[in-house]
Amino acid sequence: MPVKEAPADINVDVPTHVAIVMDGNGRWAKKHGLKKLAGHDAGMQAMKKIVRRSSELGIKYLTVYAFSTENWKRSRDEVTGIFKLLVKYVDSELEEIYQNNVVVGVIGDYSPLPKDSINALLRSFDKTKDNTGLHFNIAINYGSRAEIVRAAALIAEDVSAGKLSADDISEDDISSGLYTTDIPDPDLVIRTSGEKRLSNFLLWQSAYSEFVFTDVLWPDFSTQEFERCLDEYYNRERRYGGR
């Protein structure tokens, strides 16, 4: 399996984990007089470019917010179309992802997805499981509050079984019950389209993350804009409450 070497333009201060709220597909479609699904399709193309560039830059983890627990409230046609696009993306891009040494993962409960979408995800997991490069995590049917409740329930089970004392519950115990248990907390969270909120995304994990907000709609989010966001991150001083 060919593994690409890091490019000469890699920044030694590159964040280990970048998380992105990919927002603005619907507004992009409306702006261009297109149906919403055209915006989601364009968003997939933008995501493809950012995955590739993240890998080239030496970022270790990239997590994108693809479908929240609240997104089920959207029209049936839009939800169905989004999952069909997921299958289309896997079918068209999986070989390149594999060749570029990327590992595909999911955070969230993907069991309620259509069968063909689940199978597409399983194919991507199996194909890339032995890769050693960028960990590309897709947040699907993900909601941070539900994730924290899930972690609390797991802790309650351990307490009830006598495996853990209530007085000894720690932050590590909560973190170990999250979908991101083996993933470092994000150094940088980016949100596109001008909105400035987390929308139930990585609430626990983002306690000390840096945030960069851009007015660019997600389908127009280029690698140049991505690197501008990274430049803003590089110019931050992270103190973690120390002073």
Q: Is 139 exposed, middle or buried (0-12, 13-18, 19+ CB in 10 A)?
A: buried
Domain ranges (residues) in the chain: 17-143+185-234
pLDDT at 237: 77
Instruction: Select, from the ranges 12-21, 183-192, 234-243, the one with the highest average predicted confidence (pLDDT).
Output: 183-192
CATH of domain 17-143+185-234: 3.40.1180.10
pLDDT greater than 50 at residue 68: yes
Which one-letter DSSP state was computed for residue 200? S
pTM: 0.92
B/e letters for 151-174, b = 16+ CB within 10 Å, e = fewer, are beebbeeebeeeebeeeeeeeebe
pLDDT band (50, 70, 90) for residue 13 = confident
Closest CA to 4 of 131, 190, 104: 131
59 within 8 A of 231, measured Cβ to Cβ: no
pLDDT in tens, 190-236: 999 999 999 999 999 999 999 999 999 999 999 999 999 999 999 98
Strand 103-107 and strand 61-68: pairing? unpaired
pLDDT in tens, 147-193: 999 999 999 999 999 999 999 999 999 999 999 999 999 999 999 99
68 within 8 A of 201, measured Cβ to Cβ: yes
pLDDT band (50, 70, 90) for residue 136 = very high
Active-site positions? 23, 71
Residues 205-214: contacts with CB under 8 Å, at least 24 apart: 205/19, 205/178, 205/180, 206/19, 208/238, 208/240, 208/241, 209/19, 209/185, 210/236, 210/238, 212/188, 214/190
